[in-house]
Amino acid sequence: MERDRVISSKAEDRIAEALIRAIRVLPEDVESLIRRAAVAEHGQAGRLALGAILENIDEARRSGLPLCQDTGMFWCLASVGRESSVPLCRVEEAIIAGAGRAAAEGYYRKSVVEDPVYSRRNTGTNLPAVISYELADGSDVTLHFLFKGFGSENCSSLRMINPTAGEDGVSAAVLDMMMKAGGKPCPPVFLGIGIGGTMDRAAFLSKKAFFTEPEDSPLRRRLMDEVNGLGIGPGGLGGSQTVLDISIISEPTHIAGLPVALTVNCWADRKCSIVFKEGEL
């Protein structure tokens, strides 16, 4: 029992430290794409917006303050190895404890309400987290965290389109969702797209997509060109740099359906992954 407490304490420390860092410092690949966009953007207003974003990134790293006042809602995908001996209840306990510590110590804004319809009383802890589980090969337990600010999450959406619509239908659905989003999700944005499964599965895949390496497919290239062609631009002020990257996951679906889900992340694409080897959790 004492050994379990020691392991749990170390796991909690690792999670809390990773979650605090993630709201202050962007992943290297994310920051690199933003800096490239600042060079590529031709519109004057867009260049000014990207310049302000880069100043914000530098200041957050220097000061240790969050990149955005909306530190988001914790979304976690726990990928558990089939050969892992750790019980899921311990995985859940570690996630909750680590996230709670991070929210308390990392200058997180308290952004979660208990009752979404009536009282909307704030939990005061930025908890509960939204947790999903999946099985994976091996014995590692990997925790993937997104920090879902709702300026972008409110622009996420799903369409159940005609099963024969094909690539054109998928593209039209994504473009329509992005045109409706406009400048609200703080572009330039990152997009996760889930295609197939059921309605709820497609939505899950659209978030899981942020933790997969973008595949250079014809659909991805088309969507990159077409979304940037909307001219929404940085900050919604017009320009060529509306989307910085797109990741797509497709799965089998029913013969009568074609679910397409879109998760939008703002330029502050805050995320992290924490890997626990067997015996570390």
Give pLDDT tens digits for 58-112.
999 999 999 999 999 999 999 999 999 999 999 999 999 999 999 999 999 999 9
Give pLDDT tens digits for 223-260.
999 999 999 999 999 999 999 999 999 999 999 999 99
**Nearest-angstrom CA–CA distance, 173 and 150:** 21
pLDDT at 234: 98
| Average pLDDT estimate for 195-204 | 98
- Hunting for tokens 């899921």 — which residue is that? 88
pLDDT at 214: 87
| Average pLDDT estimate for 121-141 | 98
CB–CB of 123/115 below 8 Å? no
Peptide bond into 188 cis (omega under 30): yes
pTM above 0.85, yes or no: yes
Angle formed at CA 211 by CA 208 and CA 216, multiple of 5 degrees = 100
Confidence of residue 8 (pLDDT cuts 50, 70, 90): low
Neighbours of 134 (CB within 10 A): 12
Domains and CATH numbers, the chain: 2-24+66-148+270-276 (3.30.360), 30-61+151-265 (no CATH)
Mean pLDDT value across the chain = 96
**Among candidates 267, 237, 55, which has minimal Cα distance to 152?**
267
pLDDT at 238: 97
Give pLDDT tens digits for 18-64.
999 999 999 999 999 999 999 999 999 999 999 999 999 999 999 99
**Among candidates 178, 153, 173, which has minimal Cα distance to 233?**
178
Strand, coil or helix: what is 2? helix
| Contact residues for 265 (Cβ-Cβ < 8 A; gap 6+) | 146, 148, 152, 185, 189, 190, 191, 192, 210
